[in-house]
């Protein structure tokens, strides 16, 4: 285990509980166990099978670390629920409920401000061009970290677009056999954007296409429904 993860184990355990606490009834129903018991099993799996193997991609200095460590809480959850007979559809639904409920717990004013930012292409471009440079510098020091590229001008038909060029979530899934979770983890982007009222559209993913993940906003559109998951809907989006 990298020293960064070893020294922050308690912080990651608290972060796991923040994602699992909103879905206590669903976890107990899927496992047939009390929340305290099943959540400890999930933590044990996370600690021994995931935290032990995570690559160091910049620690607290980059937002991508939280993306990696948070997303794989759901993988640990899924691996434990499978032991009790849960299928991927049920696991994916619990993932969505957790993310939805967690986002909706944010104060209304905070969600409104975030939604306003996502509807301001000029501001987004300014913010994410800076993030591109920060990510590039971090990736130079920590290979395999997230790398992004804001598209200016945006892709035709959209008001804003950027590409995620390297995805540690996808790389980790391929390396350790968690591929089945990736479409569901990608769908969580639609949950986050949708709860903020931001109409996200994506036609590429690092996992499925091997090139990049595209995040495109079309401001005069309605956000896509995220259940059933976007990749199961009759449209070209992922």
pLDDT value at residue 85:
98
Burial readout 81-93 (b: 16 or more C-beta within 10 A, e: otherwise): beeeebeeebbbb
The pLDDT of residue 217 is: 97
Give the model's pLDDT for residue 182: 98
Compute the distance between CA of residue 1 and CA of residue 195 in angstroms, rounded to an integer. Answer: 35
What's the angle, vertex CA 98, arms to CA 57 and CA 187, rounded to 5? 65
pLDDT score recorded for residue 11: 97
pLDDT digits (tens, 9 = 90+) for 119-132: 999 999 999 999 99
Spans of the chain below 50 pLDDT: none
How much is the pTM?
0.96
Look at residue 59 in the predicted model and tell me its pLDDT. Answer: 97
3-state class (DSSP) for residue 235:
coil
What pLDDT shows up at residue 30? 98
């Amino acid at each position: 285990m990298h020293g960064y993860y070893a020294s922050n184990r308690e912080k990651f355990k608290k972060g796991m509980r923040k994602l699992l606490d909103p879905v206590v009834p669903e976890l107990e129903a899927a496992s047939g166990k009390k929340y305290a018991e099943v959540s400890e099993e999930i933590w044990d799996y996370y600690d021994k099978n995931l935290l032990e193997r995570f690559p160091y991609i910049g620690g607290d200095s980059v937002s991508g670390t939280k993306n990696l460590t948070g997303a794989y809480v759901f993988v640990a959850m899924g691996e434990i629920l499978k032991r009790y007979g849960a299928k991927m559809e049920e696991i994916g639904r619990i993932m969505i409920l957790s993310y939805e409920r967690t986002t909706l717990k944010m104060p209304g004013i905070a969600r409104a401000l975030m939604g306003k930012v996502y509807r301001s292409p000029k501001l987004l471009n300014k913010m994410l061009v800076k993030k591109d440079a920060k990510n590039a510098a971090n990736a130079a020091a920590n290979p395999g970290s997230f790398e992004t590229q804001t598209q200016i001008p945006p892709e035709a038909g959209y008001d804003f677009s950027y590409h995620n060029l390297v995805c540690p979530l996808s790389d980790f899934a391929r390396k350790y056999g968690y591929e089945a979770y990736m479409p569901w983890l990608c769908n969580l982007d639609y949950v986050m954007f949708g709860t903020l009222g931001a109409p996200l559209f994506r036609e590429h993913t690092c996992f499925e296409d091997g090139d990049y993940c595209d995040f495109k906003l079309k401001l005069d559109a309605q956000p896509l429904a995220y259940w059933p998951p976007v990749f199961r809907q009759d449209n070209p989006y992922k």
